[in-house]
Amino acid sequence: MPVALLDLLANAAIPLKLTLKVALTATAGACLAGIGAGYALSRRGLPGRELLDSLCTLPLVLPPTVIGYYLLVVFGRKGVLGQWLEETFDVSLVFTWQGAALAASVVAFPLVCKSARTAFEGVDQGLENAARTLGAGEGRVFLRVSLPLAWRGIVAGTMLALARAMGEFGATLMIAGNLPGRTQTLSLAVYEAVQAGRDDEAAFLVVLTSCVCVALLLSSGKLLNRQIR
């Protein structure tokens, strides 16, 4: 293996490891929140359902820098929750990988939410009603009927969210900065390499990120096709 390629692999190892840690943490948070929100939005009797759906979709259409600004307002050192977290638990999310995970989670959340809503709406309500008739509570209906029948769509949305979290840039840069070894993910490493004129390193990182995301999208597409069938 050429020495230059070994150097590129060595340089990419740290941001790749950090990207995976941030993306997996963000996806876990987006998955938990997205499944709950998607299930709630799939219930036709929910008041203001379409308005709530629009609010849940906002992170998907807003510029990432706007999302980052909102996160700074809420979780910054002088933010509504940020100041409370620092004073109460001595925890600060600014310039940390946890802050990067929070930003990526917010951006990825709509992908899980929309997929989960569609999947839950595709569940046969007759089966849910039959479970209720047999004495099952709403929690049991969700865990034993709705969730098992909707899992393919949820997993597909989760994989899309993982791919989105891996590529997050703007919101992450706003709240976590671009600190090598601490908050520098692959997308931020690409940006720095381009700014510094390290074209070979930037191209390698771009190909690496693209390959991972394409693999996730292919897997997600197969799951969605099975869900439709």
The domain that holds 194 is classified in CATH as 1.10.3720.10
**Percent of the chain surpassing pLDDT 90:** 68
Domains held by the chain: number: 1
**pLDDT tens digits, one per residue of 76-133:** 988 989 999 999 999 999 999 999 999 999 999 999 999 999 999 999 999 999 999 9
Which position has the higher pLDDT, 9 or 150?
A: 150
Q: Is the pLDDT of residue 228 over 60?
A: no
Q: What is the pLDDT of residue 216?
A: 79
Residues contacting residue 116 through CB under 8 Å, at least 6 positions apart: 34, 35, 37, 38, 39, 42, 150, 153, 154, 157
Q: Is the pLDDT of residue 12 over 90?
A: no
Residue 4 burial by CB count (10 A; 0-12/13-18/19+): exposed, middle or buried? exposed
Residue 140 CB: number of other CB atoms within 10 A?
Answer: 13
Residue 102 CB: number of other CB atoms within 10 A?
Answer: 23
Domain that holds residue 99: 3-228
Cα Dmax for the chain: 68
Question: In terms of Cα–Cα distance, which of 175, 16, 24, 33 is closest to 110?
Answer: 33
Q: What is the pLDDT of residue 171?
A: 95
Question: In terms of Cα–Cα distance, which of 189, 211, 215, 161 is closest to 19?
Answer: 189
Question: In terms of Cα–Cα distance, which of 72, 96, 75 is closest to 85?
Answer: 75
Q: Is the pLDDT of residue 215 over 90?
A: no
Alpha helices, DSSP H only, in the chain?
Answer: 3-42, 49-61, 64-75, 82-89, 97-121, 125-133, 138-141, 147-167, 170-176, 186-195, 199-228
Q: What distance in Å separates the CA atoms of residue 52 and residue 40, rounded to the nearest whole number?
A: 10
Are 64 and 140 in contact by the 8 Å Cβ rule? The answer is: no
Q: What is the pLDDT of residue 3?
A: 45
Conformation bin of residue 136: beta by default, left when phi > 0, alpha when psi is -120 to 50: beta
Q: Is the pLDDT of residue 1 over 50?
A: no
Q: Is the pLDDT of residue 71 over 50?
A: yes
Q: Is the pLDDT of residue 227 over 70?
A: no
Q: What is the pLDDT of residue 8?
A: 77
Query: Would you place residue 224 in the very low, low, confident or very high pLDDT band (cuts 50, 70, 90)?
Result: low
Q: What distance in Å separates the CA atoms of residue 195 and residue 177, rounded to the nearest whole number?
A: 15
Query: Which of 17-31, 35-49, 214-228: highest mean pLDDT?
Result: 17-31
